[in-house]
Amino acid sequence: MGTTTFFLRHNDLGKPLSKMGKKELEKLDTLSPYGETQHYAGWSVPFELHNGNTYALVFWKGRLLKIEDAPKVLNKKYYSKYLGKEVNEYEWTVLKKFMLAEMQRLDKEFKKFVRKKTKSK
């Protein structure tokens, strides 16, 4: 097993990978999340997955991060775009509620699938 590197584009000014030259792609390929510079030409390298180690990943408001890094990163008050104001909860608390609700929904679907499978036998 090898290493999988995740490249994230910061903004729309970052040049698309398909339009980068060979030298630019080589420079981007040398970036590491553990090095001094993690950014180049509007792109960043937030993390890598090594040798089959599995990390739970979370996509939150356009950011992809490891689940264990989420409480440290999501430490601001949650801004609700539907209400148009900050809610009196932190981003991490809101994300946790969303994830737990989604896990319960998926668990119900899994249990239904298992029941149907056992009935058909």
Strand partners, 49: 4
pLDDT at 62: 74
Each residue of 46-88: pLDDT tens digit? 777 776 666 677 878 777 778 888 899 899 998 888 888 888 9
Residue 98: pLDDT over 80: yes
Strand partners, 59: 64
**Domain extent listing, the chain:** 1-54, 67-121
pLDDT at 20: 84
The continuous run of DSSP H or E covering 64 comes out as strand 63-66
Residue 100: pLDDT over 70: yes
Q: Is the model more confident about 101 or about 54? A: 101
Average pLDDT, the chain: 82
Q: Is the model more confident about 57 or about 99? A: 99
Residue 92: both structure tokens together: 């991490």
Specify the DSSP class assigned to residue 17: G
